[in-house]
Amino acid sequence: MGTEIDVRKVVKYPPEALVSAIPVDLTAGDNKVAEYVVFSPRILVFQGFSFSRVDGLNFYANVDGFAKAVNLDNLGAVKGLDYEEDLKFPAVKSCTLKIYAPTAVSGYQLRHRVIVFEPTTVLKLLFGLELTHRDRELAKKYGLEELLKATIAKPFELWGGVEKIFTMTEKLSSSGNIARIVVPEGYKAILMSISVLRPDSAGKAYIDVSRDDVETLHLDPYCLANLSYNVPMRVVGLDKIVIDLDVRVSGDYYVRVVYGLGKLTVREKIMWKLGLSDEEKRVAESLDLYDRVEAGVE
């Protein structure tokens, strides 16, 4: 049975890139491995798909009412769990990820990433979403329709805003804290990757990530990349990011965490609806940041 995911419960500072890494028990036939629900008006972009190699399995995605909009014919010919497939697609209404299996498979390993965006005027134009009166005003003010005809929108930088990068490596033999990242005042922390010495079976331990007291990720190391590789993600914290290990089967667990720090900008405060000082308000008004952020041109 696949997991229903409501991104409203876990996304706090969009755009954010969340990773799903939980094995699934497949029965013969079609299996729903994940279903994203109630995310409108936010826009989701799916990428970072990684699969263990099992011959005869077929992955597909039903997107925005289109059946098998994305398809991988045979998961016996994929790159493997330490790498990501060259696969990226958006969803604005619904998305269900499925795997067809000719016979039952227990504890199948897979992983994917979903980037969650707030729908700016630019994104609404790009994805053909209905514009409000306010959107039409902003589109006219900045000439967005003409701009999108003349240029290609720049891809989102997963680790944008990071000024310093840190790596932490830990070995734990029992449940405990892997990392507690306390964010300095005036900064943001961004969790960028978690990789492991991958265990040989599912359910031996779980990695839980919370930030600013919001439980955000629940990962099985059995589905993560090995220590030599990264699992790109973007989880933003303004207060703290806490990463814990919940051990279910005794053993040694090696974990590598990569995170970054960057100054919290006026643009980000506007985007995340945070309070501004009088000086920050003056800067925002002088640079037209309120409208530019809302339109998606800043």
pLDDT tens, position by position, 214-252: 999 999 999 999 999 999 999 999 999 999 999 999 999
pLDDT digits (tens, 9 = 90+) for 58-88: 999 999 999 999 999 999 999 999 999 999 9
Q: Is the pTM of this model over 0.75?
A: yes
Task: Please say if the pLDDT value at position 1 is more than 70.
Answer: no
Name the CATH architecture for the domain at 3-117: Sandwich (2.60)
Q: What is the pLDDT of residue 120?
A: 96
pLDDT digits (tens, 9 = 90+) for 32-63: 999 998 787 899 999 999 999 999 999 999 99
Residue span(s) of the chain under CATH 2.60.120 come to: 3-117, 167-263
In SS3 terms, 194-255 reads as: EEECCCCCCCCEEEEEEECCEEEEEECHHHCCECCCCCEEEEEECCEEEEEEEECCCCCEEE
- CATH fold, domain 167-263, is Jelly Rolls (2.60.120)
Rounded Cα gap, residues 186 and 284, in angstroms: 17
